[in-house]
Structures are given as structure tokens and as C-alpha cells.
Amino acid sequence: MSHLLEATDLKMQFGGLLAVNNVSLHVDDKEIVSVIGPNGAGKTTVFNCLTGFYQPTDGIILYKGEPIHGLPGHIISRKGVVRTFQHVRLFKEMTVIENLLVAQNRHLNTSLLAGLLKTKGYRKAESEAMDRAEYWLKQVDLLDKANWLAGNLAYGQQRRLEIARCMVTEPGLIMLDEPAAGLNPKETSDLDGLISHLRDEFNLAVLLIEHDMKLVMDISDRIYVVNQGAPLAQGTPEEIQNNPDVIKAYLGED
Amino acid sequence: MADQFYLFIQQLFNGFTLGSAYALIAIGYTMVYGIIGMINFAHGEVYMISSYIGFIVIAALMMMGVDSAFLLITGAMIVAITLTSVYGFSIERVAYRPVRGQNRLIALISAIGMSIFLQNYVRVGQSSRDIAMPPLVEGGWTFGNPDGFEATLTYMRVVIWVITIAAMIALTLFVTRTKMGRACRACSEDLGMTNLLGINTNFIIALTFAIGAAMAAVAGVLLGTFYGVINPYVGFILGLKAFTAAVLGGIGSIPGAMLGGMLLGIAEAMTAGYLSAEYKDVVSFGLLILVLLFRPYGILGKPEVEKV
């Protein structure tokens, strides 16, 4: 059986720097997979390659068996792979609800004329988008903030809105880059619950970069460790916790 | 005393008319800057081309026997807006998209090259002589003292103001109310993220160029017929002034471009009326320097936040 997402021998070179060297990974349906490693290990670069933010120098990326490497970001996202970034990248000058509507642009009637004339089909699509947005605002507990400017939300709320914004695109795989960064322990445990909930309720696969080891060990089905751009280890949380190479990379040699 | 008042009113009329043109053209600069952070120096030439298209359409319609000013202006407007949008769209494809993502200076040079190309393209096709046209809409209202100074509000000015305001309302509705407008705003906040949410940002960028060009075309047809004279170089200085207006109002902000254009138009008209027409450029650029000293991001612009 083929995997949901499968990357083979991914390479990314910036001038003389080999930021990602022969990283392979796969994610199956309904799986939560984490990528961990020291700062600067190339985790985010892997994400950037997978989502079309960078064009990988070499390697093959398949999503549902289809090659997606080299495709522009919007096409990859339309196929069902969406992501967040390390820092919050909401449209801060737009309202919460507008953030969720922008993400659904492709579901809407794309004709400019239909938009200007507000045809029946356009209005129907728009109201479906609105319903979906409302549904996801409920899921992340932000419904009462729908008309706030996104930039005025508290940090933890902005993080949740980003996840909702990914979810309205109805993805098959969501990639979260350090979603717990800057969250307090309470917010982190809420996030833990939200991610598991997404997987269980919406058949979603999750690929996660995270430094919060408690979160990673709690929710991951499998973990990949990268160090200095190269794969170091992979396995279940227990295997990783007991892997001497991983301990050495994180804590340094004796 | 009353003469003074009517002189002031007359300058205000002049200022609003000039300001309408600056504002409409400034919108093109500001929208493009807002989305991809580049100055489209060929935008003044887009305005000039739209004036030519307007003239050609009006001349053609006149030859066919159309003599209603309403039909002439409407016809010229429709054709000029359509064709000029295609110009705007194509300029982005040909001159800017291939160099996007490179050093910004490269796009700037490409824009200057595009500007020179368009000037000469029109010069070769239409000759560099002035082309004149009789006024389409004659007459107006006069106010004031028949023995002293009389202020005149020509009908053509009213036409210009009404169409300008209509174009600005249409643009505002487009940006705030439609799905495409929402995508444009998203692009101007974060192009990369917008792309990753499934929006074809290349298309939105090209669309922005087309909309900017359409706005310039509204100004091109109106001002061309108002002044009655055009040549291939009219776009250069007007483009520069409109760019100034965009910076004055806060580049990246659409209401800023409208406000900046109007302010600049009125400042120039007042200078021409009370000081001397030769000083109007001094005053307008002086105003720019003054505003930038105290509000570097312009009147309605937002302070640039350092992006991580």
C-alpha cells in the first residue's frame, strides 16, 4: 500500500550549504508523525520543500501516489497539503472570519463577473464557505471573536486560528511547524487535545515539527530525528527516547 | 474681497481636477507596491497609452458620425479601460514576472526600460507631435462678479469628478467586498502564505497590474479630452507626480493614494493661482519632503514592521 505522503532522498542545497541531505520520510493516513532535531537541523527546510515553498534540489515527493515536487505552492495546497509556520502568519489586518474565507477562495466561484454581480451560484458557494468557517471557529473556540481583527487576538488564539485556517481548506495532511512555540503549559495541553481530535474526528494526518518533547512524545505515532540536515533516527516515541545517537545529538558527547 | 473668494474657488476646481488624475494614477502605484513591493515606473506610460487609445476611439466614432459627447466618452472609456488593462497585465508578464524574486534593483531597471520602450513605441506609431482634439463637452456655470473675477465650473470638470468618484467607489467595493479583492488584500499582507492557502498569487499580481492600469485609463481618457492635447511624453511627469501622491498618502494604502492625489492637486493649483505656475513643482515636492520628515510612511500609511 502506498503512503499518504512519501518523500524520498530529499536534498536542498543553498550555494555551498547542504541544508537537507537525503532525508526520506512518509506519513500514512490518520497518523501523527513528528520531526525533531536540534535548532538548525533542517526541519523547517524539509517542510518548505514538501509544501512547494522551496523547490528541492533533488528528491521525489509523492502525495497520494502523485508526484508533487516542483509544483507551485497553491497547487500542492489544493491537493490537500497545508501548513503553518514557526511564527504566526495570519492576515492581521483582516478579520478572523475573513482569514478563513480567503483560505477557501478555491472552493468559491472564481469568475470575477459572478463575484461582482453576486450571482445565485456565487452566493451559495459564499454561504457554504461561511458555514464551514463558522464550524471551524466553533472547533477552535473563537466563534465570539469572528469579527475581530486577527492581529488583535491573543497569541494562543492566533495559533488556533491558524489551525482553523488550514482546516477550512479540507486538507488530507496538515503540517504544523512548532505549533506550541510560545504557548504556556495549559495552552500546550489544549493544543495536544486539538491535534488528536483532528486526527480522530477528521481522518487527518499530521506532520509536526516541535521542540516541546512532552507534546511530541504524547501524541506522535512515529518520530523522525534529523541532525545537521541528515536523518539520524526514526521510530516510535519509546525507541527514540532510548536511542543513544539521539541522546548524543541532543545532549552532546561526553 | 468677493473676487478673492471666487479666485480661491476657481483654484479649488482646478485642484480637484488635477487631483482626480493624480489619485487615479496613484492607485496603480500603490496597489502594485502593496503586493510585490516594487515601483512600477512604466505606470505613467500606461496612462499615456490610454489617452491615445481614448483619442483614437473618439476620432473613429466621430468619423462614423457619432456626435453625442456621452456616447463618445463612454465608448472611449470602455475600449481604453479594456485595452489598457491588457497592457498592464502584459507588462507584468513580460517585464516583471521573470525578474521577480531577484534583487529589487533588477525589477526597477526593467521598469525603467519598459517605460522608455512604451514611450518610443507610441512615438514610432503615432509620431512625437502633439495631437489635439476639440473639446467634447462645452459650456459650464459661472459664478461671481461679472465686472471682476468670474469662476467657471465647466461641465467637463463635473464629468471628470463624477467618473473619478464612481471609479474609486467601484474599486473600494471590489477590494472590500469581493472574493478577488479579499485575495488581493491577503497577498498584500503575506504573499507566500496566501500562495500556500491555494491561491494562485501570480494571477492576483497580474490582476493588480490590470486594475491599476484600468484606473489609469479612466484618468487618461478624461484628462486627455479635458486638456485636448497629448503627446508620447505626457505620462512621464504625470506618472512622477502620481507616484509622489502615492508616497505622500502612504504607499501601499489605497485611501492614501486617493487622499495624496487630491492634496497634491490642490497644493499645485493653489501655488499656480497665488504664487506662480513655475513654483508648483517646487511646492509639490517640498510638500512631499515635509510629510516624509514627520511621517516617513505617509499620511495614511503604516510604519513598516521589520519582517523576520
Q: Can you give the pLDDT at residue B72?
A: 93
Q: Which residues of B touch A (CB under 8 A)?
A: 174, 178-180, 182-183, 185-186, 189-190, 192-202, 308
DSSP strand E in chain A: where? 5-14, 17-27, 32-36, 58-63, 66-67, 81-83, 173-177, 205-209, 222-227, 230-235
Of residues A78, A85, A91, nearest to B186 (C-beta) = A91
In angstroms, the separation between the Cα of residue A116 and the nearest Cα of chain B is: 7
Q: Does A1-80+172-254 carry CATH code 2.40.160.60?
A: no
**pLDDT of B307:** 44
pLDDT of residue B16: 95
Tens-place pLDDT, residues A136-148: 999 999 999 999 9
The order of strands in the sheet holding A205-209 is: A81-83, A173-177, A205-209, A32-36, A222-227, A230-235
Give B-chain residues touching A85 at CB under 8 angstroms: 193
Tell me, what's the pLDDT at B77? Answer: 95
Rounded average pLDDT over A229-242: 89
User: What is the percent of chain A with per-residue pLDDT over 90, rounded to a whole number?
Assistant: 56
Q: Which amino acid is at A131?
A: D
Which residue has cell 491558524?
A: A162
Per-residue pLDDT for A50 more than 80?
yes
The pLDDT of residue B42 is 94
Domain coordinates of chain A in residue numbers? 1-80+172-254, 90-170
- Supply φ then ψ for residue B142, to 5 degrees: -120, 145
Task: Find the helix or strand (DSSP H, E) in which B154 lies.
Answer: strand B150-154
Mean pLDDT of A170-181: 92
C-alpha neighbours within 13 Å on the C-beta side of residue A111: 10
Average pLDDT on A190-206 reads 91
CB pairs under 8 A between A and B: 76
**Set of cell numbers at residue A224:** 523522525
Q: Is the pLDDT of residue A1 over 70?
A: no
**Using the beta-carbon criterion (under 8 Å), do B196 and A106 form an inter-chain contact?**
no
pLDDT surpasses 80 at A122: no
**Residue of A77, A82, A116 with shortest CB distance to B178:** A116
C-alpha cell at B292: 516624509
Proportion of chain A above pLDDT 70, given as a percent: 93
Q: How far is CA B36 from the centre of its chain?
A: 19
Query: Angle at Cα B167 formed by Cα B164 and Cα B173, nearest 5°?
Result: 140
Residues of B in contact with A76 (CB under 8 A): 196
Mean pLDDT, chain A, as a whole number? 88
Residue B246's pLDDT is what?
Answer: 95
Q: How far apart are CA B106 and CA B112, in angstroms?
A: 10
What is the residue type of A193?
A: G
State the nearest Cα–Cα gap between A125 and chain B, in angstroms: 11
Phi, psi of A170 (to 5 degrees): 55, 60
- Tell me the pLDDT band of A107, cut-offs 50, 70 and 90: low
CB-based contact A105 B182, cutoff 8 Å: yes
CB pair distance less than 8 Å for A94 and B183: no
Residue B1 pLDDT: 62
Encode B109-122: b = buried (16+ Cβ within 10 Å), e = exposed: ebbeebbeebbeeb
Whether the Cβ atoms of residue B159 and residue B73 lie closer than 8 Å to each other: yes
pLDDT of B304 reads 64
The amino acid sitting at B194 is T
pLDDT for the residue numbered A106: 74
- For residues A183 and A162, is the Cβ–Cβ distance under 8 A? no
Q: Which residues of B are less than 8 Å from A115 in CB distance?
A: 178-180
Cβ pair B179:A91 closer than 8 A? no
Shortest CB distance from B190 goes to which of A82, A91, A115? A91
Whether B189 and A91 lie within 8 Å, measured CB to CB: yes
Please answer whether residues B251 and B30 qualify as being in contact, where contact means their C-beta atoms are separated by less than 8 angstroms. Answer: yes
The domains of chain B, with CATH numbers, are 2-165+202-294 (1.10.3470)
Pairing relationship of beta strands A5-14 and A173-177 according to DSSP bridges: unpaired
The whole model's pTM is what?
Answer: 0.89
Q: How many CB atoms lie within 10 A of CB B64?
A: 9
Q: What are phi and psi for residue A41, nearest 5 degrees? A: -75, -15
* Nearest chain B Cα distance for residue A110, angstroms: 8
Contacts of B201 in chain A (CB under 8 A): 74
pLDDT at position A111, please? Answer: 59
Cell of B40: 512600477
| ipTM at complex level | 0.85
Cα A202 to the chain's mean position, in Å?
Answer: 15
**Residue of B100 and A249 predicted with greater confidence:** B100
Decide: helix, strand or coil at residue B29: helix
Q: Which residue ranges in chain B fall short of pLDDT 70?
A: 1, 304-308
